[in-house]
Structures are given as structure tokens and as C-alpha cells.
Amino acid sequence: MRILRAAMVGLIAAVLIAVPAAAAPLVPSLTLKIEPRYYSDQGNFSAIAVLAGATSNVTGVLYFRRYATAACTGGFEMLGGIGVSGNREYNSPNLQSGALGDFGMTVFFDSSNTTVNTDQTSACVKYLRQQRTTVEIHLPRNRFDTPAKLEPQITASHEGVVELERFAAADCTGTPRVVPAGPVTDDALGNHSLRAAYRGTETLAEAFSTCRAYTVGTYVRGRVFEDIDSNGTLDDGEKGLAGVTVTLRKGPSTVDTAQTDAEGRYEFFVTSAGDYTIVQNQPQGFDSTTPDELALQVPGNVLADFGEASAEPSVRPITTSAAASQQPLAAEGGRTGLELVRYGAIALIAIAVIVLLVLLYAARARRDY
């Protein structure tokens, strides 16, 4: 009898404990996800509510509440209800309406059966509703001589703070150097890029321009000239030599080649610092009055002139006919000497004959007396 009574008491206690446990509703989790910034003219924009931990057959309604403050205090605007059908993500109605500025939002889960799933309210999430803005940048050219004086032209759709972001790479990658917008100087050789950044305001979105690439370099210039006085210096009145090939080298490698123009000028645009050698091809008919290879350093001495003096004409034989042109000058001189001796001998003979005739005439005259 005692055993039966104890069993009955245990059974009643188990039933009393089990019934409240089965009747206790589940407490689901409810979170709200929303981008902190967006543009007012990009079309529909929705927050995302995530319901988890409820029963698989959960039902009810999600109500999205928008507050005029970022802290979700004061009154709110009800944006509409979304029917719940299970644990998953739910998109809010379009959030584009309303004024510009900061807002706060929560989502409230109203369970249709509170005996199974409890009502829940998500944490407050703030977002910023801004107006789209644009900014653009233009450079007068994309190649600059060091130190480069960049004069970008910047346009923005709204008033506000605009800054320049300068990148060491040509594609606006890496960490930029930020400077106020306006004329700036860049003395670093190589390929770089520039971008304008509009920082935005409470109601205007920040914006970035397209990337503008540019190159900073040093011009290596000079002339190949006819050095009339052979002093190795380009003086007033000395003209340039056209069509002379000039080569720029860095170590054993050829960087570039150029030909002098009508005034004997050439130039190279160098975008990398270092030691260089500039070499000219010797023009025909000239002798160099300066070295044919000149060393220079970039940045640094970037002027290299080459002097050339006209070569002396070669000594050639003097000829009077085609046959005579094949005889050396010494043979011409020897023949002329023999002819002089011959003419001299004839002259002496003629004088002797004349003297003899005079003597004969004088002897006859004495005989007649």
C-alpha cells in the first residue's frame, strides 16, 4: 500500500513539472541589419531583419519602426508589416522616403501565438540617408617636367570640402598623400596618379573622382653643333648639325635613341633617377672637339652638347689630263725639270751661234780695211 501511494505521488509530481515546461514559450532572437550610409537616388533600399530560434512553424508579423533620432528615442514611424513564415531573413519596405540625415530603426516581432513564441524587439540600428554627390578632376596634361606643377581642375556637384589624394602608383592604389585641393608640386620621378575626394556632409554623400594618371620626369637636352673655332664650346653663330643619331644609356642598356633636328637639337624624357651615359654617332666629314660619350646624373646635370669641326681635306694630286692624273705629283715635278734643262741648253746653243756670227762679221770687216 505504501509503495502504491509513493508511486501515485511521484506520478502526480512529474505531471505537474512537465506541463509548465511544455507550456513555456520560446524566446527567438531578432536582429536588424542595415547599411550605415546610402544614397537617396539609388532606387529602393531595404533593411534586413533576421529571425532565428523560433519554432519551425512560427507565425506572426514583423513591424519596422523608423525614428527621427539615431538613438531610436521619441516617436517612430511605422513602415508596414511583413508576415513571418519561419526562421529566415526578411526585407523591410523601401527606406527611401523621408528627410535627409540620421535615422534610427528597430524591428518588432509580434507573435501570433505568444504561448509558443514570445514577442521580440531588435536593437536600435542607425543609418544615414544622404543625397548623391559627384566630383571630377581633370589635368592639363599627363606628362610633367620636374618639379611638376600640377594644376588640376576640380568640379563638384555640391559645395563642401574637396581634397586631393596623390598615389605613388599609376592606378590610385596604395596609401595616398592627402593635400588640400589646388595647385600642388610633385618632384618624385615616375608614374603617379591623382584623385579628388569630396568628403561629404550630414546630408551629402562622400564621393571620389575617376583616377587620373600622370608622369613626372626630367628632360635631357643638348645640341650637336659645328664647332668652327674648335674650342669645344657652343658659341654664338655656330650652327647645329641635323640627322645625327644620339643614344641614351643606363649602364649597358639602351634607354632611348633620337636624331637631331634641323638645328642640331635632341631631347630625352627620363622618368627614373640614376647615372646615365649619352653617346653620339660620329657624323662623316667631322672631327669631334668634345667627347663622343658624356656621363650625366638624373636629376642633376641634364644638358649635353657635342662639338664637331670640319675635317681637313686630304692632299690629292694635281692633274691636267686623264693620262696625267695617273702620275704622282713627284713625277710631274721631275718631268718639268728635264724640260727646263733642255730649254736651257737650246738657249745656250742659240747664244753661242749668235756670238760666233758676230765674231765672223767682225773679222771680215777688218779684212776689208
The CATH code of the domain at 217-310 is 2.60.40.10
- Of the pLDDT bands very low, low, confident and very high (cuts 50, 70, 90), residue 325 is very low
Place of cell 542595415: 34
* Banded model confidence at residue 194, pLDDT cuts 50, 70, 90: very high
* Domain residue ranges in the chain: 2-130, 135-210, 217-310
What number is the average pLDDT over the span 213-229?
95
Other Cβ atoms within 10 Å of 360 Cβ, number: 10
Of 155-164, 182-191, 223-232, 250-259, least confident by mean pLDDT is 182-191
pLDDT at 65: 96
| Percent of the chain at pLDDT exceeding 70 | 82
- The reply to whether 2-130 and 135-210 are identical in fold is yes
Please state which of the ranges 99-103, 123-127, 320-324 shows the lowest mean pLDDT.
320-324
Report the pLDDT value the prediction gives residue 241, as an integer from 0 to 100: 97
Rounded Cα–Cα distance for residues 254 and 120 (Å) = 75
CATH class of 2-130: mainly beta
Residue 324's pLDDT band, with cuts at 50, 70 and 90, is: very low
20-51 per-position pLDDT tens digit = 445 578 899 999 999 888 888 878 889 999 99
Average pLDDT over residues 337-341: 58
Q: What is the pLDDT of residue 21?
A: 46
Residue % of the chain over a pLDDT of 90: 61
Q: Which of 162, 174, 175 is nearest to 201 (CA)?
A: 162
Q: Is the pLDDT confidence value at 213 over 90?
A: yes
pLDDT for residue 332? 43
The CATH class, in words, for 135-210 is mainly beta
Q: What's the confidence (pLDDT) of residue 349?
A: 80
What confidence category does residue 16 fall into, taking pLDDT thresholds of 50, 70 and 90? very low
pLDDT on residue 110: 95
pLDDT at residue 364 in the model: 67
Segment 141-187, tens digit of pLDDT: 999 998 888 999 999 999 999 999 999 999 999 999 998 888 888 88
Q: Is the pLDDT of residue 1 over 90?
A: no
DSSP-assigned states of every residue in 162-191: EEEEEESSTTS-SPPEEEESS-EEE---EE
Q: Where residue 315 falls among pLDDT bands split at 50, 70, 90?
A: very low
Most confident segment among 259-263, 295-299, 365-369:
259-263
pLDDT band, residue 82 (cuts 50/70/90)? very high
Q: Are 93 and 46 in contact (CB under 8 A)?
A: yes
pLDDT at 339: 61
Predicted confidence at residue 114, as pLDDT, reads 79
pLDDT at 316: 41
Helix (H) or strand (E) segment spanning residue 22: helix 2-23
Residue 146's nearest CA partner among 216, 220, 222, 215 is: 216
What's the predicted TM-score (pTM) here? Answer: 0.62
- d(CA 223, CA 266) in angstroms, rounded, equals 6
pLDDT at 331: 39
Question: CA–CA separation, 291 vs 225, rounded Å?
Answer: 13
Mean pLDDT of 200-221: 94
What is the residue-averaged pLDDT of the chain? 84
